[in-house]
Amino acid sequence: MKFSPELIALAHYLCGEFDNRDQAIAEPARFVHLRLWQRPVPLFTADSITLFAEQANIVNLDQPYRPRIMRLQPSPESAETLQVQYYMPKSAGAVRGAGRNPTFLQAFTPEQIDLLPGCTLRVTVKPGANQSYHFAASLLPDARCCFTYQDEIRQVDLGFEATPAAFLSYDKGVDPATGQVLWGAVWGPYEFMKRQDFASELAL
């Protein structure tokens, strides 16, 4: 399948190793210093570009968490938008550390992940200078992104912005019963800067 320039650009912007060092130093009481990895994974290659993502506290880089799969696709709703569908690995331990060691992902198969039905983001695209783009992604209206983890129902409010210069994460953990925000972008988005580019790993 021939991908649009916008979809390819989104994949390029998202692929990499990021951290929010400057933000964490400026506001340590509000923002944990995190490292984020988003790497291409060879899944659904016929009609989409798929990434594996995980993150870690900077003081515990050997203990990454929140493994997830992001499937970037054209939106079925509109030619002017894209979408990101989230999946969860059935066994987090099987891919833990793949952000730094992509060989863990080479044999990954669709049978090893679960679709998260309410976890689809609509991505709007705005042209920028020098053939760049500004992407803004948010959950579909009335969607509830929920999954089961350690026998408990968890809810996440997902969202991001992406430009050539930065990746802003609006992800928040939410109490499914009360709607109270429990963790994540409580004080505003996590402002990640790209420290290493993984776009060369994309098989386009």
Nearest to 99 by CA among 70, 121, 120, 119: 70
Query: Residue with structure tokens 């689809």?
Result: 120
Block residue for tokens 């079925």? 76
pLDDT at 67: 94
pLDDT averaged over 10-residue windows placed end to end, the chain, 204 residues:
92 98 97 98 95 97 95 86 94 91 90 94 92 95 84 90 96 90 94 97 88
Q: Is 111 helix (H, G, I), strand (E, B) or coil?
A: helix
Per-residue tokens: 30: 């509000």
Query: CA-to-CA distance for 201 and 204, rounded, in angstroms?
Result: 9
CA–CA gap between residue 150 and residue 120 (Å, rounded): 22
Other CB atoms within a 10 A radius of the CB of residue 168 amount to 17
pLDDT value of residue 78? 74
Token pair in block for residue 48: 């989409």
pLDDT for 91-117, tens place per residue? 888 899 999 999 989 888 999 999 998
Radius of gyration of the chain, Cα coordinates, nearest whole angstrom: 16
pLDDT the model gives residue 66: 93
Contact 36, 58 (CB under 8 A): no
Do strands 152-157 and 159-162 pair parallel, antiparallel, or not at all (unpaired)? unpaired
pLDDT computed for residue 151 by the predictor: 76
pLDDT of residue 148: 78
102 exposure class (CB count in 10 Å sphere: 0-12, 13-18, 19+): middle
Task: Say which CATH superfamily domain 5-201 falls into.
Answer: CpcT/CpeT domain (2.40.128.590)
Confidence (pLDDT) at 36: 98
Q: 27: Cβ–Cβ under 8 A, 6 or more apart, which residues?
A: 187
Amino acid found at 115: L
pLDDT at residue 44 in the model: 95
pTM above 0.85, yes or no: yes
CA dihedral sign, ordered 87, 162, 54, 12: positive
- Torsion angle of the four alpha carbons 62, 52, 65, 162, in this order, in degrees rounded to the nearest 10: 100
